[in-house]
Structure 1
């Protein structure tokens, strides 16, 4: 019997409209509740069957899909929870894939970087061991080449070790008052021989005699050494290496500028990634470890500063900003 039949029964059976209204009200309410619950159960059963099917699809590996969320009691909340869980799972799997890719890139790049100087060292030492040199001058040349490549190999290993320490947050900053003007004059003096070998000349321009920052001097020195070394390596087609310093607001700003070949726009966003190098450097076998700029960025980040690069046909500029009032921050 449906609700219409029930109403008709009370109306015609009792014969009095006022009695009909009073008597039929609770029946209508109860019947409505019954029908609502029956419809709700039907919707829940259909929705549950849909969820089971969609969860089976997820189980088969279709992790990019989501289950349907409907406002059907607690099943809707369950569906939303499933979607959040699957999103976390997708993120976790993506991070795992990136970590695996990073490990493979690490092995590939380190193998390449270490093999090149090792091949050169063993080659020259082999010539010496077999007495395949014309005179004392050629012998000394072979010996010097093997020695220089051994130094390069040592630097590659040190870069890798330092980068690993930075990534594992094992580095502690020991801050003190540092005059960047004095530091950069000292660092540039150390590169005079390399600059001369490349036919380059350094020029320093500072707006004042002192630019004081609270920083870890040894680690900050490594930043500017890496930038200057990078400028010499890739900017030796230009004559000058310029270093400009100024104060902007509460920041000490240092520009390291070279006038060599420009960096392609496609390479700029990735320059500070570990082991990333402009491909031409690898072709010429003159590239560094590919870690130097990544190390520089990590050290600047530890000092809560910033480092960026701009490059065009005229010049390439690496800009480092260090706050003069940065709070102490250890990692």
Structure 2
């Protein structure tokens, strides 16, 4: 089954956020639980020590029984926990009691519905209490001693009697063993309380010691049900917040995944178009991130492929044209020579004047064929970089002046004026002398071919800022703008009919271009039909 990338991203975002929420929620809940449990434990311990001091004050005769009873019951109300005072024999000496609420109803604290162990109806075996007040008789359980106006009740003073023995409670042995093992030290423990039948936090603090033995222990029994309820509410709040967070995450993740997938789909469309041979399409760049960079890279690839395909098609066309041109240029002189030779051999031409003319034509075509082959080889060496060349110091102005001297007679015969403009004190340059001479010859020969009688050809050489400039300007027929980009190609001729009036092989400017590149020079061609052409070449000195 195919699952889209958007759904994968969306699912991944949701799973990651859900896992983070679960981990964070678990950690936070445990932290809150530990914090509140520790706070509750400290509070119970502090109140247990405070209760122990009050109980000690009572047995030292500093407060009366009513004040003690009120204090223990107030601790019960404050902490929502039962307060027990036991002696060393695990007999219950005192315990907090339920009180009537102001409305007259019974208020049950600490979530415990069972009666206090001190209640007369409670079925617990009575034992002998062992804590004495200034040598008085055994004390029994404390009952509520507060009157409605808050004054102490003298009738509630403990008398010698029986105290409930907690040992009779089934399952209480664990608490008793912990008391005996603590040996007069305070301790805290979470236990399942066998009397109240629920989980409780039990805090024990010893009373004053007599002959290195504690007189008893204050036990505070705090139920964990309220604490668990508080944590449950926190868990619900965390769950609700997590649900809202996941919903928000879904919205944000859907937006993000869509913003990621949309440019990918655009790139997919571009790739499909490229596979079909369409290189004109472009991917839409929507962001400035890695996806945007990928879109831009794909667009550059499309552009490069489009240029490559265009160049390949153009190169293929040039190759076909080259083969056709070479075939034509080779076939023409060979055809002429074969035809003339047959005419001479079969006696068709017998007059001396005609025979001489035919021989001259055959010689000219042989020379032309040899020149074509030499130029093809020369161009091949230049393009392949296999020509054996060595730079030498040369004076460009001197080369130009010498070549102009060679062309004086041909130009005069055609009626074209040759003139030079050579600056004084021109520096020498490191160049390939023979190739530089060949370059000037090609350009000047072309200018002379296409400049009619009465025209002018001007060759100038100058230097500015370590740049040596060669310029060859003519007043010939000019080159149409649409032909200018192609004049450097092999066998390209502005004369589409390939007339043989001007002669030449069609390789001159292609060779000239390679020589210019060989010297690392820059060339510019400006031409206007009917007015002439200017070739400007700049060399770095």
Inter-CA distance 172–308: structure 2 relative to 1 (3 Å threshold) = farther
Corresponding position of 2:483: 267
How far apart in 2 are the matches of 1:137 and 1:238? 34
**C-alpha contact 1:237 1:260 (8 A) present in aligned 2:** no
Q: More helix per residue: 1 or 2?
A: 1
Query: Which structure: larger Rg?
Result: 2
Give the deviation of 1:220 after TM superposition. Answer: 0.4
1:111 pairs with one of 321, 324, 327: 327
Give the C-alpha shift of residue 103 in structure 1.
Answer: 1.0
Structure 2 length as normaliser, TM-score?
0.48
- Which residue of structure 2 lines up, in the alignment, with residue 222 of structure 1? 438
Partners of 1:321 and 1:110 in 2: CA distance: 32
Q: Who is 2:104 aligned against?
A: none
Residue aligning to 2:498: 282
Aligned partners of 2:311, 2:461: CA distance in 1, in Å? 40
Aligned to 1:291: 507
Higher relative contact order, structure no. (Cα contacts within 8 Å, ≥ 6 residues apart): 1
Aligned to 2:422: 206
Q: Distance in 2 between matches of 1:256 and 1:280?
A: 24
Q: Which moved more, 1:81-90 or 1:262-271?
A: 81-90
- The superposition leaves residues 163-203 of structure 1 with CA deviations (integer Å, 9 ceiling, x where unpaired) of 22222233464211112233223323333453354344533
Q: Which residue of 2 aligns with 1:141?
A: 357
Please say if 1:191 is aligned against 2:407: yes
SS in 1 for 2:523: strand
Q: CA deviation at 1:205?
A: 3.7
Asked if 1 retains the 8 angstrom alpha-carbon contact of 2:263 and 2:285, the reply is no
Q: Distance in 1 between matches of 2:259 and 2:400?
A: 74
SS of 1:310's equivalent in the other structure is: strand
Matched, 1:96 2:308: no
CA distance in structure 2 between the partners assigned to 1:193 and 1:200 by the alignment: 10
Q: Does the aligned pair in 2 maintain the 1:297–1:306 contact within 8 Å?
A: no
1:238 paired with 2:486, answer no
Q: Name stretches of at least 5 consecutive residues in structure 1 with no aligned partner.
A: 1-13, 326-331
Q: Is there any run of 5+ residues in structure 2 with no aligned partner, and where? A: 1-228
Q: In the alignment, is the contact (CA less than 8 A) between 1:181 and 1:209 conserved in 2? A: no
Counterpart in 2 of 1:320? 537
Question: How far apart, in 1, do the equivalents of 2:265 and 2:462 lie?
Answer: 69
Query: Residues 247 and 253 of structure 1 are in contact (CA less than 8 Å); yes or no, is this contact kept in structure 2?
Result: yes
Q: Secondary structure at the match of 2:482?
A: coil
For structure 1, which segment, 100-109 or 133-142, has the greater mean C-alpha deviation from structure 2 after superposition? Answer: 133-142
Could you say if the C-alpha distance between residues 105 and 22 of structure 1 is closer, same or farther in structure 2, counting changes exceeding 3 Å? same
Q: 1:224, CA displacement in angstroms?
A: 0.6
Q: Which moved more, 1:196-205 or 1:142-151?
A: 196-205
Corresponding position of 2:382: 166
Aligned with 1:322: secondary structure? strand
The farther-off stretch of 294-303 and 167-176 is: 167-176
Shift of 1:317: 2.9
Superposition CA RMSD, Å: 3.9
Structure-2 change in CA distance of 1:180 and 1:89 (3 Å): closer
State the distance in 2 between where 1:249 and 1:74 align: 46
- 1:120 matched to 2:336: yes
Contact 1:270 1:276 in 2 (8 A): yes
SS at match of 1:321: strand
How many angstroms apart in 2 are the aligned matches of 1:165 and 1:83?
37
Aligned residues: 308
Structure 2: distance between partners of 1:200 and 1:214: 32
1:320–1:24 CA distance, 2 compared to 1 (3 A): closer
The 2-side partners of 1:180 and 1:41 are apart by: 67
**What is the DSSP-based 3-state SS (H/G/I as helix, E as strand, rest coil) of the residue aligned with 1:232?**
helix
